[in-house]
Structure 1
Amino acid sequence: MEKKKMYGYIRVSSRDQNEARQVIALKNYGISDSDMYLDKLSGKDFDRPSYKRMLKNLRQGDVVVVKSIDRLGRNYEEIIEQWNIITREKKSDIVVMDMPLLDTRKGKDLIGTLISDIVLQLLSYVAQTERENIRQRQAEGIRAAKERGTKFGRKRIEMPPEFRCLSERWKKGEISSREAGQKLGISYQTFLRNVKNCL
């Protein structure tokens, strides 16, 4: 009989690049480096090549271990969908380390499955609500900062006195933007951007 395997799945966004905490937790759980799958994603791109490879390798009775429930998906619907793919289609098990109740190897009877499903739905909803609250708090913080006069984005570079003369020469075609930039000690893109701002 084929030995059942235990896989670890790690997901981090490009904003939060520190996967070390998840890696250490999975290693301590007994998962080898070769059985860990890691995806680093940007906020807009949720294509998960490592996750898809792991799903392909999953066999009946294998176990997927994640540090927390939100590693499985971005939102409530996605977490439930991936949970069902792993447990129902693949007939594999899931262990959520942060929530011992979410260990499908335990309580395989009807009551155990029911409790697991209820806890999963509740936690998925809480995870999504918390993300939405964080986004709302960030938006409110930015709005309040703007009202106080806080400027966002890159700080505008102050142009030296020679800028006006060089920009006039550039407009007349006497000098290139690169030459003007070199004389001012800035890139030609910065020179052109500031010329455009003065128009």
Structure 2
Amino acid sequence: MLTYGYIRVSSTDQNEDRQKIAMDTKNVPRKNIFMDKQSGKDFERPQYRRLVRKLKRGDLLYLLSIDRLGRNYKEVQEQWRILTKDKGVDICVIDMPLLDTRTAKDLMGTFIADLVLQILSFVAENERANIKKRQAQGIAAAKARGVRFGRPEKPVPKNFVDIVRQWERHEISTPEALRLCDMSRPTFYRKIRENEETKLIRCKIISS
């Protein structure tokens, strides 16, 4: 029988130290700890898949909490069934002693564990939905304040107008114009349109 641990954080900037410390308290060998830095929305995670392939009947898997396994209600229960029933692996959720299949072998223990699993996996998915909702609200509020997301756009070169004039007079080719402006073709055409619109606006202001 071998002991394994699984750690998951939702993004690369989150800290996994608490989960590692929990694995150390259970004497899980570091070489048997698998970690994904990925969302818990599904189980398409490379290290989790690698872990499942290694697990054998009678092995023990530690998780700090059920939401580290995943945040999809149905899929968490399905993975639990695959691990415990199909592969014959024991699972211990450190933060929830009731979810320890080593102590839930009788009918009552299995019933309680299944009930707790359903409740916790539902809570995990509900929290994921709330996180997404809060993120959407935060993004909408930031956009309303004028905050722009994504990579900042490169400024046009100071001689952009001269380059466009040379291009329009066929003195330089399109690839050469793109190289001089350091722009893609769609961006180059869009900047020309924006420049023309700016000219029209200025003309209207002057003539009014």
Q: TM-score, normalised by structure 2?
A: 0.77
Among 115, 118, 124, the residue aligned to 2:115 = 118
Residue of structure 2 in register with 1:93 after alignment: 90
The alpha-carbon distance between structure 1 residues 192 and 166, as it changes in their structure 2 partners (threshold 3 A), is farther
In structure 1, the gaps of 5 or more residues are 182-187
SS at match of 1:189: coil
Would the aligned equivalents of 2:91 and 2:101 in 1 still touch at CA under 8 Å? Answer: yes
Cα distance in 2, alignment partners of residues 43 and 9 from structure 1:
13
The yes-or-no answer on 1:196 pairing with 2:190 is yes
Q: Secondary structure at the match of 1:152?
A: coil
Partner of 1:24: 21
Q: Counterpart amino acid of 2:84?
A: T
Pick the aligned partner of 1:155 from 152, 155, 158.
Answer: 152
Aligned residues: 190
What is the TM-score with the length of structure 1 in the denominator? 0.80
Gaps of 5+ in 2: 194-208
Residue 79 of structure 2 aligns with which residue?
82
For residues 197 and 92 of structure 1, the distance between their equivalents in structure 2, rounded to whole angstroms, comes to: 60
Q: Is 1:8–2:13 an aligned residue pair? A: no
Runs ≥4 residues deviating over 6 A: 42-45
Amino acid at match of 2:73: Y
Alignment pair present for 1:55 and 2:52 = yes
For the residues of structure 2 that align with 1:80 and 1:22, how far apart are their CA atoms? 21
Is the Cα contact below 8 Å between 1:6 and 1:64 reproduced in 2? yes
Cα RMSD (Å): 2.7
**Percent identity for Structure 1 against Structure 2:** 49
Q: Which residue of 2 aligns with 1:180?
A: 180
Give the Cα–Cα distance (whole angstroms) in 2 for the partners of residues 39 and 26 of structure 1.
Answer: 15
CA distance in 1, matches of 2:22, 2:72: 23
Aligned-partner residue type, residue 180 of structure 1: L
The separation in 2 between residues aligned to 1:168 and 1:77, in whole angstroms, is 61
The aligned amino acid for 1:148 is R
Q: Which residue of 2 aligns with 1:185?
A: none
Moved more, 161-170 or 93-102: 161-170
Q: Which has the larger radius of gyration?
A: 2
